[in-house]
């Protein structure tokens, strides 16, 4: 993470010393760099500046309203996958015409609301969804712009849980069924077929899977045009990775150039939906060491953050950098598993890390801006963490730490009445 750096043995995020944040807001907490977030967005904006492109941030990566507003104000659209994300996008000020609705299970209520506000496009993922959307739009007297998500059966070479473009994945319409499904979409009332869409996976570090998928989509575009179904845009989703450890994801400008070469002269608008690439390296999870424990075969640094705060290591075998917030001279280095207090053996944030630390020390878990807070939970009845935004040398609380009362507020306990 480029925003992290040491000054006189103290770790800073941009111009703010992380111990000061822990002192003011306690731990665990997520801390984000405004500068890094906007630089990542600007890299996409600048790389595609010469193309007719709508770049929609995939807000499933991190949907904090303050971060969304920063991106919307910078010109980003929003890629949503639920009615709740739609409302967040609108609250952040995103114009509906810059919103695309992805996801395999859109409800009638979600479709109705999206049509009501006038979103840019629905990315449809099944024939059954076409039927439902047609019925909802017809009842409302609306026309829904649709793009069909095609599963190109391209191996993205990533973790199976974040691979989305193979035959066995739940996403999209099989390539072999694409033409028939487009014919159906073009025949249904209340629908306007405008695009073709794919998303082959996440955390990709090579361009070739993207280009293979695009070539397969463009072949379908040509076949559809021959049948009189002329599309307006091609949607390549997201998926470019970030550097957690030693990965070398392709520069965005190389991706943009490769796409431009294939779209040249076609008159097709481009839609993109990056998420992790925008916010992943903008955030850290700040946590404090509660105990150091020596086991028979391993040493454990038991911290106050847990898998309910950052589930990627347990769920995806995700690797995150671990840095002591204050470097200590004279402490012995030992190899630790950094683990939380949740009652699961999978509750680890990092394994086999060489650290010189003591109980009470602060640790920064790097690259935690994406799929950290967004996937957090109340498992073990743990309250969710606070979120803080760093803007140069200024600090702003953008999500209060959840309280126990807030966590319990929606529950109705069946308790005997007093007396």
Q: What is the 3-state secondary structure (H, E, C) of 27-49?
A: CCEEEEEHHHHHHHHHHHHHHCC
Stretch 21-25: mean pLDDT: 98
**The pLDDT value given to residue 171:** 74
**The pLDDT value given to residue 167:** 54
Stretch 141-147: mean pLDDT: 98
Instruction: Please give the sequence-ordered ranges of beta strands (E in DSSP) within 82-160, or none if there are none.
Output: 99-101, 121-124, 144-151
Q: How far apart are the C-alpha atoms of 272 and 265, rounded to whole Å? A: 19
* Annotated binding-site members for substrate: 276, 312, 316, 344, 371
Stretch 356-374: mean pLDDT: 97
Assign 201 a pLDDT band (cuts: 50, 70, 90).
confident
Tell me the per-residue pLDDT of 164-198, one tens digit each, with 9 for 90 and over.
444 556 678 998 999 999 999 999 999 999 999 99
Tell me the per-residue pLDDT of 307-321, one tens digit each, with 9 for 90 and over.
999 999 999 899 999
Q: 326, 9 in Cβ contact below 8 A?
A: yes
343 is catalytic: yes
Stretch 210-239: mean pLDDT: 94
* 3-state secondary structure string across 267-305: CCEEEECCCHHHHHHHEEEEEEEEEEEECCCCEEEEECC
* 3-state secondary structure string across 50-75: CCCEEEEEECCCCCCHHHHHHHHHCC
**The pLDDT value given to residue 159:** 39
Q: In what order do the strands lie in the sheet with 10-13?
A: 4-7, 10-13, 16-17
Residue 141 has pLDDT above 50, yes or no: yes
Stretch 45-53: mean pLDDT: 95
Domains by residue range for the chain, with CATH = 4-32+280-408 (2.40.37.10), 34-278 (3.20.20.10)
Torsion of CA 308, 313, 318, 323, to 10 degrees: 90
Stretch 27-31: mean pLDDT: 98
Assign 163 a pLDDT band (cuts: 50, 70, 90).
very low
**pTM, 2 dp:** 0.93
Percent of the chain with pLDDT over 90: 84
Residue 86, Cα to own-chain centre: how many angstroms? 15
Helical H segments across 227-274, by residue range:
252-263
**The pLDDT value given to residue 165:** 41
Q: Which of 29, 56, 243, 343 is catalytic?
A: 343
E strand or H helix at 222, and its extent? helix 208-226
Q: Which residue has the tokens 């810059």?
A: 98
Tell me the per-residue pLDDT of 54-98, one tens digit each, with 9 for 90 and over.
999 999 999 999 999 999 999 999 999 999 999 999 999 999 999
**The pLDDT value given to residue 169:** 63
Torsion of CA 15, 93, 114, 99, to 10 degrees: -60
Q: Which of 17-21, 160-164, 191-195 has the lowest mean pLDDT?
A: 160-164
Q: 242, 281 in Cβ contact below 8 A?
A: yes
Instruction: Please give the sequence-ordered ranges of beta strands (E in DSSP) within 206-273, or none if there are none.
Output: 233-235, 269-272
Residue 160 has pLDDT above 80, yes or no: no
**The pLDDT value given to residue 28:** 98
* Annotated binding-site members: 239, 273-276, 312, 316, 344, 371
Q: How far apart are the C-alpha atoms of 12 and 140, rounded to whole Å? A: 53
């Amino acid at each position: 993470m480029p925003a992290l750096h040491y000054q006189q043995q103290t770790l800073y995020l941009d111009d703010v010393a992380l111990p000061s944040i822990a002192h003011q807001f306690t731990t665990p907490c997520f801390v984000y760099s405004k500068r890094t977030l906007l630089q990542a967005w600007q890299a996409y904006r600048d790389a595609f500046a010469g193309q007719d492109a709508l770049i929609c941030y995939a807000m499933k990566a991190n949907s904090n309203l303050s971060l969304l507003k920063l991106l919307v104000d910078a010109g980003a659209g929003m890629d949503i996958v639920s009615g709740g994300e739609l409302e967040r996008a609108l609250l952040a000020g995103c114009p509906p015409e810059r919103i695309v609705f992805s996801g395999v299970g859109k409800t009638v209520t979600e479709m109705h609301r999206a049509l009501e506000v006038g979103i840019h496009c629905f990315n449809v993922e099944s024939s059954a969804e076409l039927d439902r959307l047609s019925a909802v739009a017809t009842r409302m007297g609306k026309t829904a712009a649709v793009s069909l998500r095609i599963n190109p059966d391209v191996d993205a070479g990533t973790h199976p849980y974040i691979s989305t473009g193979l035959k066995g994945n739940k996403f999209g319409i099989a390539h072999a069924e694409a033409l028939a499904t487009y014919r159906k979409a073009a025949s249904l009332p209340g629908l306007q077929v405008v695009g073709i869409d794919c998303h082959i996976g996440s955390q990709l570090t090579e361009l070739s899977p993207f280009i293979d998928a695009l070539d397969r989509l463009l072949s379908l575009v040509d076949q559809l045009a021959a049948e009189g179904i002329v599309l307006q845009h091609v949607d390549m989703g997201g998926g470019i990775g970030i550097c957690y450890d030693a990965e070398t994801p392709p520069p965005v400008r190389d991706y943009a150039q490769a796409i431009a070469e294939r779209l040249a002269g076609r008159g097709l608008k481009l839609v993109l939906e990056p998420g992790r690439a925008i916010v992943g390296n903008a955030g850290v999870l700040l946590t404090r060491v509660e105990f150091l424990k020596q086991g028979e075969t391993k040493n454990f640094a038991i911290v106050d953050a847990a898998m309910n705060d950052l589930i990627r290591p347990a769920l995806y075998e995700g690797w995150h950098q671990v840095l002591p917030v204050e470097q200590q001279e004279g402490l012995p280095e030992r190899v630790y598993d950094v683990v939380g207090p949740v009652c699961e053996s999978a509750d680890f944030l990092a394994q086999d890390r060489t650290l010189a630390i003591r109980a009470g020390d602060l640790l920064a878990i790097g690259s935690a801006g994406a799929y950290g807070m967004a996937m957090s939970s109340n498992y073990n009845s743990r309250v969710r963490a606070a979120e803080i935004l760093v803007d140069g040398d200024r600090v702003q609380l953008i999500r209060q730490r959840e309280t126990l009362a807030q966590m319990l507020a929606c529950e109705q306990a069946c308790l005997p009445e007093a007396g």
